[in-house]
Structures are given as structure tokens and as C-alpha cells.
Homo-oligomer: A and B are copies of this chain.
Amino acid sequence: MGFKAIRGDIVHAPSKESLEIHPDSYIVSDGKNIVGVFSEIPEAYGGIEIIDHEGCLVMPGFTDLHTHGPQYANLGLGLDMELLSWLEARTFPEEIRFSEIVYADRIYRQFVRDMVREGTLNAVVFGTVFLESTIRLMEILESSGIRAYAGKVNMDRNTVKGMTEDTRKSLADTEELIRRSKGNDRVRPILTPRFIPTCSDELLSGLGRLAEKYGIPVQSHLNETLSEIEWVKELYPDSSSYAGIYENFGLFCKTPTIMAHCIYNSEEELMMMKSGNFFAAHCPDSNSNLSSGIMPLRKFLDLGIKVGIGSDISGGDTLSIRQCIVSAIKCSKLRHAESDESILPVSMTEAFYIATRGGGEFFGKTGSFEKGFTFDCIVVDDRELHPAEMPGIDERLQKFVYCGSYRNIIARYVEGNPVDPEMVMEMDLPVKGKLDDK
């Protein structure tokens, strides 16, 4: 691993307040981590390898803080329904198919390829209840070259036949996944209770124990729809809040915790979310498609709650975090116009920050080009997007975010290594495990 640099028109958002722009400059790294951004290669680094993307935009890769790999085939389908009926009619029947590793392998490869195509370099992914196919998901993520957390889903009640787990087996399989994924630094396990209604007390407390024992992070869903919240209240009439239930079982911020949606939050819950271990995954497309409502994003920013963006397919209809940035901005504007004038919309810069450095923080120092951050980036050839003159870099970023496509992304790097989305289709991963047991 030697020092190297990338040359291009550099743009990133080290803070949510403003973009940092470096026309025709160099990101210099020790190969893995960033040393600095310079308009000329400093003398001390003379002669290092230079990856030349002159004239292209170089920006941080995106972080997808909440998505469901096994729902990829369902993308864009059945969106005339709301959450709970949609889960039963569309989601669960599809996820059952992932008991077959051949099917899982087929869908997960396309899911990961298409996610990487879109410039996502960090992803936090729900698998299914099935251990072997979740391990396959992790293998495919590993072979893709990006950074990821993946979770075996836990559900032992209120779900469908074929996916209702035996509580002890659910916990044992989860522990097995943790053990088998040890030693992998780029793709790691995350505890994944689906949501409160599908997990018994015994399961939740068992997961809480695993979180503590292995220091493993947690992801789940919170305050997505009013009917879901009503249901949770019926199940736990004595709890003061939905978030409080997770907390009682050791699943809220004892270890780093991602909660998707967070639309309808009590003041008590918002205070809990100010924990340094908490990340809200804002999923604007999913929240629109399932008529859930609009998360008060500005409020989260003002309170200093950490937020990232989640594609949340197939509640969401795109894997592109670039498109989700646009949706997040639009939703914040519609909330402002339709129902709460006091909450101002978020700006392009704020949404870009959330999609890169905001969610990236879950993975450590990644998502911007600050010193010491991982040497990750995507390279965008945006020439075809401009019918007239090329504008400044600020506007070129806007144009790419609003009007670009994954086809404009011509290169991706993670810790200095090129990442090729098409590779995962060819990787030799033997089909093993569960299939032969049947």
C-alpha cells in the first residue's frame, strides 16, 4: 500500500452548513486514508501514483443506512398499499423464497451490483430470517468491495408461516452469524429484530444480551405509521414510548443503533435520540410510497440528532441514494408547505451531507475528504448533463444529483481500491448450505 492521489473537480460536505469545493485538485492519501486535499501535489508527495480524472467531479460515495436486500425483485411493485397490508401481501411472500440459497444468490448479486452502480459505498442491509442466505448476502457484499453491515432478521410472532422462527433457534442462528463473520473488517453483522410487533419479549431480551456480549450494533424500525404505533401500544400498554421498548431490552443505543423512519416521535423519544450511539435512517421514498408521512428532518438537524438516508427498498422505489437526496429535499419542502410552516425545508447541501458524511459516520471516518478519513470516492463524468456551458462545481453537483444517473459514475474507490459493480455477477461463490438439506 503506497501513497496515491486522485485528481479531479473535488466536492464534499465536511459539515452540513457548506460544501467544500476544490476545482482541479488532488486528494492525497497514504493509500487507505486521506492525508489532505491540495491544488497541487505537495513536494513531500512528489512522484506518488496519480489517478487522473481531470474534468470529472470527485465526491464521496453514498451511504445507504437502511435497505432490504431480499425485497429487490419487488422494487416498484404493489405500491398502492399501506405498510401493514403491504408487508403481508408482498414482502413476506417474497422473503420466504430466500430459504433457497440459489434464489438468494441470484437476487442478492443483482441487488449489490445495482446498489454499487449507484455509488453506494457503505450500506446497512436487512437480510431475511434465513441464516445461510444472509451469510451469502455477506459474502456477496464482501466480494463487491464496499463496506457494509448485514443482519439476519429476527421474527418469532405476528408474521407468516415459513418465517415464524423458533425463539431459541432465532437467537442461536444470530449468534452463529456473528461467529462466522468474525475477522471481516469490511462486512460486519448487525442485530436486526424486524420491529417490536414481530418479536417476543424473550427474543428481544436475547438479542439485547447478544448486543452486549459481542458489542454488535442494532438496526430496526421505529414510528413509521400511526397504525403501527397503535399496534405497539396495544402490545405494550405500559410502555411510555415505542423507543423505550427497544431500550428496555438493551436494543436502543447500548451499542450503535439505527432506527429507520422516525416520523412520529414523542419529545421523550427525540431526547433519547440525541445519544451519540443513535442514527436515524430517513427513508423519504418509502415514507411517500406507503403513505406513512414525512419525517421532520429539519428538527433532527436542529436537535443535533445524527441522520443518514435509507433507500428502504422495496418500500422505497430506488436504490439510488442520489435520488433519495432529491426525495428528502422535496419531502421537507412539502412538509413545510402542507403541514408545518415552522419547520423549514432542508437545503441541497444539508441533504448531500446527510447522504454522505451523515450516514457515513455509522462506519467511522468516512463520507467526506477530511484528513484521516477513508480514501473513498466516486467519480462522475457529467459532461452530457449540460445542454449549454459547464457551470461551476456547486451547480454541477446539483445537476448530477437531480438529473444524473448511475451511468455518469465512471469509477468508485474504497480505501483506494477500485470497486467494479459488475464483478459481483462473476464472483465464484459456491452454492452450499441449506439447499442440500432440503
Contact = CB atoms under 8 A, between A and B. Distances in A.
Contacts of A79: 329, 348, 398, 402
Contact of A334 (B288, B318, B347): B288
Interface in A46-76: 72-73, 75-76
A294 interface: yes
A405 B405 CA distance: 10
Contact of A111 (B331, B387, B398): B387
Contact of A331 (B75, B334, B345, B347): B334
A437 interface: no
Interface residues of A, number: 48
A335 interface: yes
Contacts of A78: 395, 398
Which of A111, A336, A398 gathers the greatest number of chain B CB atoms within 10 Å? Answer: A398
A385 to B, nearest CB: 8
Interface string A323-348: 00010011101111111000001011
B348 A317 contact: no
Interface string A364-403: 0000000000000000000000111001000100110111
A73 B317 contact: no
A122 interface: no
Interface of A: 72-73, 75-80, 103, 106-107, 110-111, 285, 288-294, 317-318, 326, 329-331, 333-339, 345, 347-348, 386-388, 391, 395, 398-399, 401-403, 405
Given A75-B399, A294-B337, A334-B334, 17 more contacts: A73-B388, A75-B402, A77-B391, A77-B398, A77-B402, A78-B398, A79-B329, A79-B402, A106-B387, A107-B387, A285-B330, A290-B333, A291-B336, A317-B403, A318-B402, A318-B403, A338-B338
